[in-house]
Amino acid sequence: MKKTAFEDNIKRIEEIIRKIEGSQISLDDSVKYFEEGMKLIKECEIKLESTKQKVVKLVSKDGIVVEEPLDTGEEDEL
């Protein structure tokens, strides 16, 4: 099964976290990793929001099946 860009981004974010937390790296390198991680996180948020908007539930109204947006019961935090 081929990884998606989303999965690759998550893997890279995890690598960045390990580098920043576990290594003796320069401040400049830490900032570069941080910036890269923030960019990847934003890309993941956009992908999640796009996917969320595609998710629908099927409900029956008066014997007719219709699609409605999935109500997660959570307010958008993005």
Side-chain half-sphere CA neighbours of 33 within 13 A: 18
For every residue of the chain, which 3-state class applies, written as one string?
Answer: CCCCHHHHHHHHHHHHHHHHHHCCCCHHHHHHHHHHHHHHHHHHHHHHHHHHHHCEEEEEECCEEEEEECCCCCCCCC
Q: Mind listing the pLDDT tens digit for each residue in 25-58?
A: 999 999 999 999 999 999 999 999 888 777 766 6
pLDDT of amino acid 40: 97
* Domain layout of the chain by residue ranges: 5-69
Q: Is the pTM of this model over 0.75?
A: no
Q: Other C-beta atoms within 10 Å of 47: how many?
A: 14
